[in-house]
Amino acid sequence: MAPSQLDGEASTRGRTDEPHLVFDNLDLDLVIKVLSKTIFSPFFTIFLPLTFLAQVRSTSHPAFIVSCAWTVIVCLFGALRHADRVYANQASWILAPPKLDWGDQIVLITGGGSGIGALLAETLAMRNVSVVVLTKDPPKYETQNENIYTYTCDVSDYAQVQAAAGKIREEVGDPTIIVNNAGVVKGKLLLDLTEDDVKDTFGANTLAHFWTLKTFLPAMLARASGHVVTMSSVLGVVGCAQMTDYCASKAALVNLHQSLRFELDNRYHTPAIRTTLLLPSFTRTSLFSLAALPGSRPGPLGAIWSFLAPELQPHVVVKAIIDALDAGESRVCRLPWYTHAARGLGAGVGVVPKWMGDLLQRLAGADHAMRAYGPKPDAGERLLAEREAQASASASASASVDEKGGSRSDAKAQSE
């Protein structure tokens, strides 16, 4: 199973057209990336004043003064970002952290039988990394890579995780990297969710993280090194309709990540154990293959949304994970770039006015993106149907009363 096979299927699932213009591949993320490497790059802007000085040959020329001011602003901002990164990782101010020796790593991936987990497993295995995959169901594809060890395990069940851990330690060794990636999506309105639905969602999306950490973190603490990757979602910061259980389960992971970071730094005194939190938007995998994303709309509005909020492909998420592991840094990865807006939209933060948040929610169509999921009709549609039936019955009753009243009036007039 090649990564391109997995990536290709996930990327095209749910899409009916292929890009036919160069501009079809242009989006906000690409623009931001180019700008960050040019006019917002401290290294690049240092040469701007020198370039203008060579052209105007005067230090009092407005172009030279503006370029100097811009260079100072960009360099100060870059210095602040570097200081934050150094503090977060307790790293050196000058020397870069040593690159990860992949040959010594054992990577545990939950939910590695399909989607992002499977693509990550195959990509790492190609680097000759030992990869342990925990999957509830048999993998959709049979891997030919001898570096991938697959164990059938329901990670929402603590007993099964402990049982699998014994086999893993005996056959492979203690994992040095944990990627908690397993997750499920029900896509139902709150009133359509069954008790089992809620338990299943929180079991796979939330409790599984606790069970793998309780099982495998002690070995990391003993070594005082390792990396924990938590797959949350931007929906753990900002909620939407028909995803109440999913959003709540992912919100718990945001605070799990932060609390774990505090424990590693201040209680276990192991700052070298890194933690990475991923907050991706809807990703084109089997979980969200039927989701109606704003960029899929026809016409100019769809084109605008495709530019501002492009579909997130699995290989982008995998690259972000590997980059964080390679750098040996603790990170928070928000993907794509527009998800940074969620920092001010969440109800717990409340930076953005309510009307603005609701407007963005409506424009994005977030509350109707999961219409293809759940029972038909759903709880909302059934309620509307009941209201319409009641209104129709009430109107019929009123008409009947009016008709009877009119008949009585006619009869009285005739008798007179």
Look at residue 193 in the predicted model and tell me its pLDDT: 97
The pTM is what?
0.84
Q: How far is CA 168 from CA 110, 117, 133, 138, 154, in A?
A: 13, 18, 10, 17, 15
Give the pLDDT confidence score for residue 19 in this predicted structure: 46
Which is the catalytic residue, given 87, 149, 151, 246?
246
The structure tokens listed for 117 are 């987990």
For tokens 């503006």, the residue is 66
The question of whether 151 is a catalytic residue gets the answer: no
pLDDT per residue of the chain (416 residues) written in tens, 0 to 9: 444 444 444 444 444 444 444 456 788 999 999 999 999 999 999 999 999 888 888 889 999 999 999 999 999 999 998 898 888 887 777 777 778 899 999 999 999 988 999 999 999 999 999 999 999 988 777 777 899 999 999 999 999 999 999 999 999 999 999 999 999 999 999 999 999 999 999 999 999 999 999 999 999 999 999 999 999 999 999 999 999 999 999 999 999 999 999 999 999 999 999 999 999 998 888 888 788 777 777 778 778 888 888 889 999 999 999 999 999 999 999 999 989 888 878 766 667 788 888 888 887 778 888 888 888 898 888 888 989 888 888 888 887 776 766 666 665 656 65
CB distance 402 to 275 below 8 Å:
no
* Residue 64 phi, psi (nearest 5): -70, -40
The closest alpha carbon to 153, from 143, 174, 167, belongs to 167
> Residue ranges of the domains in the chain?
38-96, 102-368, 377-416
CATH class of segment(s) 102-368:
alpha beta
What's the CA gap between 258 and 306, in Å, rounded?
32
CB neighbours of residue 143 within 10 Å: 19
Residue found by looking up tokens 């309510």 in the block: 354
Tally Cβ neighbours within 10 Å of residue 248. Answer: 17
Residue 101's Cβ-side half-sphere holds a number of Cα atoms within 13 Å equal to 3
What pLDDT, on a 0 to 100 scale, did the predictor assign at position 349?
67
Strand 177-180 and strand 106-110: the pairing is parallel
Alpha helices in 172-223 (DSSP H): 195-202, 208-223
What is the rounded radius of gyration, in angstroms, for the C-alpha atoms of the chain?
Answer: 28
Give ∠ CA 219-212-270 in degrees, rounded to 5.
Answer: 40
Cβ(318)–Cβ(119) below 8 Å: yes
> What secondary structure letter does DSSP report for 46?
T
The pLDDT assigned to 281 comes to: 92
Q: What does the pLDDT read at residue 381?
A: 86
Residue type, 112: G
